[in-house]
Amino acid sequence: MRIVLQRVSRAAVSINGGPPRGIGRGYVLLLGVTHADTAADADWLAAKIPVLRLFPDDEGKMNRSLLEIDGEVLVVSQFTLFGSLRKGTRPSFSDAAEAGAARVLYEHFVNTLAAILPRPVVTGEFREHMDVELVNDGPVTLLLDTGWKSANRE
């Protein structure tokens, strides 16, 4: 699984031109799933994200977690995170998981994360056209990828 995490002051997603679903201070998580991903990968990411210390403390250092600041999360499925431009000029998505398997892991991740967080998790809609608007705070943008995990995940 691959997540592009952006710390935001606010964000929203509109599905097929519909009304926006939004959050305040927290994270936007763009989530991609590949063939080798498992529920254990989703569980590891869902447990790690709420405790990452990416919010400033009173001295301005990244020392506070999402849980500590009572932050919100917006999760958007994004198969294009596994797009490849190694050959040609049109992306290949052969590394992205098949839609049915990806949906299962996406939903598993969202449900696992929702069980940890005190606030509801806001989501986009799987396999729908979405417009995502956000104000990146910092800017802070990180990439989490379970394909890079070691035998002893840290």
6 is catalytic: no
Please report the sign of the dihedral spanned by the C-alpha atoms of residue 150, residue 152, residue 98, residue 75.
negative
Has residue 56 got a pLDDT over 50? yes
Catalytic residue among 6, 78, 123, 146: 78
79 is catalytic: yes
Q: What is the CB neighbour count within 10 angstroms for residue 38?
A: 12
Q: What is the mean pLDDT of residues 117-124?
A: 97
For 32-48, what is each residue's pLDDT tens digit?
999 999 999 999 999 99
Residue-by-residue DSSP string for 27-67: EEEEEE-BTT--HHHHHHHHHHGGG-EEEE-TTS-EEEEHH
- CATH of range 2-148; options 3.40.980.10, 3.20.20.140, 3.50.80.10, 3.40.50.2300: 3.50.80.10
Q: What is the mean pLDDT of residues 112-119?
A: 97
Has residue 154 got a pLDDT over 80? no
Q: What is the mean pLDDT of residues 67-83?
A: 96
**Cα–Cα distance for residue pair 149/154, rounded to 1 Å:** 8
Put simply, whether the predicted model's pTM sits higher than 0.75 gets the answer: yes
Where does the pLDDT of residue 149 fall: very low under 50, low under 70, confident under 90, or very high at 90 and above?
Answer: low
141 is catalytic: no
In the three-class reduction of DSSP (H, G, I as helix; E, B as strand; rest coil), residue 102 is classed as helix
Catalytic residue among 38, 80, 93, 141: 80
Give residue limits of the domains in the chain.
2-148
pLDDT, position 147: 86
Catalytic residue among 79, 82, 123, 146: 79
